[in-house]
Structure 1
Amino acid sequence: MAACHPFIATTEESWLNRPAHRRWLIDQGESLIAFGKASRRPEGGFATLDEWGHPIPAQRPQTLIAARMTHTFALAALQGIPGAGALVDHGISALTSLFHDDRHGGWFAEMPDDEDASGIDTTKQAYLHAFVALAAASATAAGRPGARVLLDRAVEVIERHFWSDEEGRMRESFSRDWQQGEAYRGANSNMHSVEAFLALADVLEAPVWRQRALSIAGYLIHEHAVQAGYLVVEHFDEQWQEWRDYNRDQPGDQFRPYGLTPGHALEWSRLLVNLEAGLLRHGEQAPDWLLHDAIGLFDAAVTTGWAADGAPGFVYTVDWQQQPVVRARMHWVIGEGVAAAAALLARTGQVRFEHCYRQWWDYIDLYLIDRERGSWHHELDEHNQPSASVWSGKPDIYHAYQATLFPRLPLAPTAATLLAERPELAG
C-alpha cells in the first residue's frame, strides 16, 4: 500500500481528541451550513448553487439536491444551529408535494412543471429514493412536522418497487408507471441504500433494515470487491453479471463512470464500519469480514487512487489495470476519505489511519476550501486547480458537511439518531 505520510511523533494524541481540532471542524461545518442556506428557493425546494453560492436560475430543481440538503439541515437542526429547522421543513414540504409523482407514486428526478411531467426524465431511480428516505429519516429524528409521513411513504415505495428479497439487493430504476425496469444493476445506488437503511433501522427501530444493508454489502463487497482486489465493481446487468465495459464511451459520468472509483471504496469502507457498529450495538451478529473488508477497501483506494498520476489528491476513476482514466479530483472523494480514516482509527486505533486523516485534511485546507467564495470547490483538475469537467458549481454541501461531523461522533447509531439522543457529542 502507498501509505500516507507519517508524522514524526507517532505517540502523540490524535487530532480527534484535541479541542482545537474539534472546534475547527465545527467552524468548518457551520460555514458550510451558512453557505448552503442560499440554496433555498421561495417557490419550493433548493437551488443548485454556482461557484459564488448563487442559485443557477436555468437549472431545474433537482430531487437529489432537495433530499441531500434536507438531510444536511436536519443534522444541523439537531445541533441547534438557528434557521436549520425551518430549512428542513421547507425541504420536507417540497419532497412531499413538488417532487412527488401523485399519479403513480415515487419521486421524479426533477421538479415537473405539470402533472404530466412533460419535459423531464420520468424514470424512478433507486439512487434518488434512497436519498429521499435518508432525508425523511433524519428529519424524523429531528422531530420536524410532516417528516414521519414522508418517511412512511418512502419506505412503502422502496419495499414495493425497489427492494428485492430474491436478489437481496435494490433494483435500479423503473418507468414512471413502474411497468418497465432497467436492465442494469448498480453498486452506487445500492451503496447509498445501505446508508439510508442504517438510518431507517435506527429511526424506525427496525432491525430488518440493517439485515438488508448487510445483504447488499455481503454481495457487492465480500463477494465482488474482494475478488477484484478490494476495488468496487460498479456496474452489473439485470442478472447481476459484472458489466466491466459499461460507459466506456462516457468515462466521466457523474453517477455511473466507467471503470473503478476509488472514492466509492472509501465510502464503502466507512459504511462497513458503521454497519458493524450498528449490529453490535443491538446485539446482532456482525461478521468478521466487515472490518477486514473495510480495511481492504481503504487500502485499495489509497493504493490505486491517491496521487495515482503523481500529484496530490484522489483521481476520480481508474481502469481495470488500475491506471487513471478521469484524473479530476472530486471533493466528495476526500471528504469520504477523512470520514473513513476517522472511523477506522476509532475502530482499530492504528496510527496509520491518523496519518491519512491528517494528510487529507491538510489537502482539503490547501486546495478545496474556497475562502473567497465559500464552501469547497467541487472539482479540481489534475493540477489541483478548480475545474468543471464533471461537476460545475457547488451543488450541495452534503459530503463536505458530513466530513466535518462524522469524525466527532461515535460509530453508532447513525448521525441523526445519535444527535437526537445526545446532542452534546457533536461539540
Structure 2
Amino acid sequence: MTRVHCGMDFGTSNSTFAVATEGSAPRLLPLEDDRPTLPSALFFSFEDPGIYFGREAVSQYVSGIDGRLMRALKSVLGTTLFADRTRVKQHAYGFGEIIGLFIAQLKARAETALGEETRAVVCGRPVRFVDDDDSADAAAQDQLAAAVRAQGFSEVEFQFEPIAAALDYEQQVSGEELGLVADIGGGTSDFTVIRLSPERARSLDRQSDILATGGVHVGGTDFDRLLSLKKVMPLMGLGTGTADGKRNLPVAPYYDFATWHRINRLYSAKMLAELRSTQKEAQHPDLVAALVALVEERQGHRLAGRVEEAKIALSEADQTLFRFTTPDVRLETGITASELTEALDSATSAIAEAIARTLAAAGVAGERIDTLILTGGSTRVPAVGRVLKALFPAAKAVETDAFGSVGLGLALDAKRRFGD
C-alpha cells in the first residue's frame, strides 16, 4: 500500500489538512461542505449537547442559538491565557482541551475524506508564537504538540509555515531564485529568505538554503482589533471621560471586547458589575449602555465578525458602511480605506520592521530579492500590500493559494521526513 504523508495547518482563522503520496502532487482534503478549509472555530451549544465546528459553529452562533463561540485559539498558545479555564455548562475546559477538540475534528474529517487512519503528521507553526520570549515560544509548540498527540498522532513534527509555503511554490520554479516568503495570517506574520531552484527542491536537507527566518505576532485578528478600536468601540464610549471630567473611562474592557480570544473574559457577573458601574459615572452613559447591552447579550463575537467583514470589504472598495444592530443596540458608521490604513499603522510598521530584521539576519538587501511569495489571507489587505511593494518594488510578486499553500507544503515536507 502506498504510504500517505500528511500535513496539518492549524491556523488562527482557518485550518487545512493535506496529503501527498509518492509519484503524485500534494492535495488538500475537503473538510466542510467539500471545501478545503475549516474555520478554526468551535461552538458549545447551551440548548443541546452538541459541539459544532467551522462554518457550522459560526452559523449556530450568528443565528442566535444560546452558547459559547471560541475562535482564534491559536493565539492563546504560549500566553498566560492558556492556563485559564472556560466553563461550559457543567464542565470547565482548559484551552489545551479545547484545542484538542478542534484537532480531533480536523483529523476525523481528514480521515473520512481519505478513507484511512492517519498516524504521522507535520504540523505548521509560525516563526514566532510569542514575540521576544523564547521560553514562552517553546512552550507554545509543546502545548500544540501535546494537543495533537492526544488525538492519536504517534509521530508529530513541526515546520515553519513560511518554509512550507516556499516548498509549495518551488514546484513551479525553473531557475535559481532568491525568495522572501511573506506568510501573513490570522495571528502571526512570518518571513523567510530562501534560495529556490529545481535542483534544490530535490534535496532532503534544505537548512543551508534558508538564509534567515523572522516574524512578529501580528496578523488579521490584530487588524480586526485595531479597526474596531478606531471606529467601532468609540460608538460605545471608548475615548470619552467620566461625568466629573477627572479621568477617561477604562480602556481594558474595550480592548477585550475588540479582541477575538479575550471577548469571553467579559462574560462574567464581576465584569458586568464593573461595566454597569462605569456606565453610572460616564459622561455619556448612553454610549456605555450599548457596551453593557452587547455584553449582556453575548454579542461580542458576532460584532467582531462584522468588523472583520468591514475589513475584507475595504480590500475591494474605498469605503464601506459598518452597521450592527440588535433589539437594544444600533451601531453605524462609515469607514474609508484610508481610515483602515491609519488604524493599521502600528501593525504594518511592526511587519516592516520584522522584514527588515529578517533581511539583515540573512545579510541580504531588499533589492536582491527576486521573488516575493505571498501566502496567508491577510496579504490581501491593501495596507499590507503597499508596505510590501514599497520594500520590494522590483521583486516578482507571486500569490500562492492564500489558505492552502502552507498545508500543501507541509504534506511535501511530510513526504521528505516520513518517506520510505
Q: Quick check: TM above 0.5?
A: no
- Larger strand fraction of residues: 2
